Structure 1
């Protein structure tokens, strides 16, 4: 495919220099459905980006779109703050019956502002309020959001530098595999907790991603997560799982921590919880932690009712029968086999891959290679992004509803792009 970069005059002259995705994908996109995105010049792209994980059910999913249109056409409430509405009730009932009860999860549900970072801010604020302490432990290469509290527990130096002020009350610890197995899990963490001279204040909580998406598709082992939960219980720290990108079925189960058999104290969800790409986020926590005062954490758009409508439709359609998890794991095996072949064909021992469900990363020793692969894939009609602290990982994040044929098509484009950038 030959792509002619469009004349982005209004974007270049009026929009801020902070824009990023449009620089790697120089096209003006016009419409999309399922796994396909189309630009205004008629080019078609297979989407292995899925709105950074906010489109697990594809673009303009017809079932969710119909529910949304029906709601809007009958003048359903759009903006409701935290008022009780029929749309919110329908979502809460579906979430309770389809997600929480079958997994024996006792969580209360909080609607913070509609972004993932707002859910993280609410989680951090609540943990500190419950425990009466300020310090929160995070992990190397973590990413939890772009607001100040979330940045304080984010590892990426470039993003942290954008804060412009000191980011305090967060302490990083080594994520799983950080020392390649040469150091026992949590040895450093436990030693600092025990040593009254370590300088580590007793933490209120630990926040973790089971799979670090922006950090480079770093997958925590189930036993590591279980050991972390045990450590938190023994040391009187709350365990927060940030499931904003890896939740809603991305790794297989609805929650990414299900495989490890743990029950976090607090869980954050966003991105694909609405199912349709509409802004929405949740902060879930055990009932005994619900010590909020009315209005103590709020937001003008915390009651985005169209998102409640599509979220309920997504749960009712894709999660009531248990088939989505099985399908995702099967699709994941398809990706794994393809990446195994790509890595073997490259002949470069520095090329490796890792992932779970339908989130995978293909890592290159030279980060410029990963960027070149993504650029070449775009030219051939495939949307991919990089991740990792140096942009060294090609990140695969296709919609969960992708067909085996579409998945194979994209994987063949990826393989060709790797060969052509060798």
Structure 2
């Protein structure tokens, strides 16, 4: 398939230079369904990006679309601040019955605002309020959002530089396998906590991603996460798991930390929690942490009622019987086998590693610029994949969880061809 970039248009003449994805994928998209996007010129693209993880159930999922249309057609509440609505009640009851109770999770639910960074900001704010301390520990190559508090616990130098002011009260520590197994887990962290001369203020909390998506698909081992949870408990620090991209079933279980058998103090969710790609985020926390005063954390768009409707429909449709987790893990094995075959074909000199879990995978290239070339060629062949990692050295696969085996095969064949043709 030959793609002709659109002519100079309102995007170039009026929209800010800050736009990014449209530069990687120079097309004007018109409609989408399931795992596919279609541009206005009639080209078809298989989507292994899924709205950066906001479309776990695919584009315009028919079950969720029906629920949304029915709600709008009956003049259901669209904007409700944090008022009680039937849509919010239905979501909360479904969330409790389908997710929290079966997993014995005790969490209170907070609606902090429409985006992931809103959830992270509220988590940091609450942790500091509960502990009466300012410092937050994060990890190398972490990404937690683009607002100032979230940037302070983000590792990427390019994104941090955009803040324009010093980012304070955050301290990075080595993520799992940062030293390739040559250093004992948490050796440096423990030493700094013990040493009165280390300069590390006692942290209020530690924030972590179980798999670093933007950081390069860096997968934390379950035993590492368990050791981190134990360290937080021993040192009187709250554990915050940022499950914004890896939650909602991306790694297999609904919550990505389930495999490790831990119960974080605070959990942030966004992206696919709304089900349909509608803005929505949650901050979950243990009941004893709920010391907010009414209105102490506020926002006009916390109560996105159409998102409550599609979120509840997604939980009912996909998480009531345990089949989605099994399907995702099976699809993940399919991806792993295909990526391993590509690795074997090209050898360790070209491809450093393939890594992931469930339906999030990365392929790291020795020549860091090659990942971008592979992504570009894949787009020309009709596949959307993005890059990640501190130097964009990893091709990242994030297909919808509803992708079929045949669609996965199609996309993985295109990816293999793109790697071959950029050698």
What is residue 182 of structure 2 aligned with on the other side?
182
- Could you give the per-residue CA deviations for residues 338-376 of structure 1, whole angstroms, max 9, x where no partner exists? 000000101243511000000000000112100000000
What is residue 139 of structure 1 aligned with on the other side?
139
What is residue 102 of structure 1 aligned with on the other side?
102
SS at match of 1:363: strand
What is residue 330 of structure 1 aligned with on the other side?
330
Residues 375-390 of structure 1 mapped to structure 2, 5 A cutoff: 375-390=376-391
What is residue 79 of structure 1 aligned with on the other side?
79
Aligned residues of 2:365 and 2:394 also touching (Cα < 8 A): yes
- Taking the aligned partners of 2:281 and 2:369, their CA distance within structure 1 comes to 34
What is residue 244 of structure 1 aligned with on the other side?
244
- Could you give the per-residue CA deviations for residues 68-89 of structure 1, whole angstroms, max 9, x where no partner exists? 0000000000000000000000
SS at match of 1:367: coil
What is residue 11 of structure 2 aligned with on the other side?
11
- Taking the aligned partners of 2:344 and 2:18, their CA distance within structure 1 comes to 38
Residues 41-190 of structure 1 mapped to structure 2, 5 A cutoff: 41-190=41-190
**1:342 maps onto 2:356 in alignment:** no
- Could you give the per-residue CA deviations for residues 365-396 of structure 1, whole angstroms, max 9, x where no partner exists? 11210000000000000000000000000000
What is residue 310 of structure 1 aligned with on the other side?
310
- Taking the aligned partners of 1:125 and 1:368, their CA distance within structure 2 comes to 38
Segments of 5+ residues of structure 2 without an aligned counterpart are none
- Taking the aligned partners of 2:87 and 2:176, their CA distance within structure 1 comes to 40
Kindly tell me the number of residue pairs found equivalent between the two proteins.
Answer: 422
- Taking the aligned partners of 1:349 and 1:70, their CA distance within structure 2 comes to 55
Q: CA RMSD in A?
A: 0.5
Aligned residues of 2:141 and 2:215 also touching (Cα < 8 A): yes
What is residue 359 of structure 1 aligned with on the other side?
360
- Taking the aligned partners of 2:292 and 2:173, their CA distance within structure 1 comes to 29
- Taking the aligned partners of 2:61 and 2:132, their CA distance within structure 1 comes to 44
Segments of 5+ residues of structure 1 without an aligned counterpart are none
- Could you give the per-residue CA deviations for residues 108-145 of structure 1, whole angstroms, max 9, x where no partner exists? 00001110000000000000000000000000000000
Runs of 4+ deviating beyond 6 Å:
none
- Taking the aligned partners of 1:66 and 1:404, their CA distance within structure 2 comes to 25
Tell me the TM-score normalized by structure 1. Answer: 1.00
- Could you give the per-residue CA deviations for residues 167-217 of structure 1, whole angstroms, max 9, x where no partner exists? 000000000000001000000000000000000000000000000000000
Residues 369-380 of structure 1 mapped to structure 2, 5 A cutoff: 369-380=370-381
SS at match of 2:369: helix
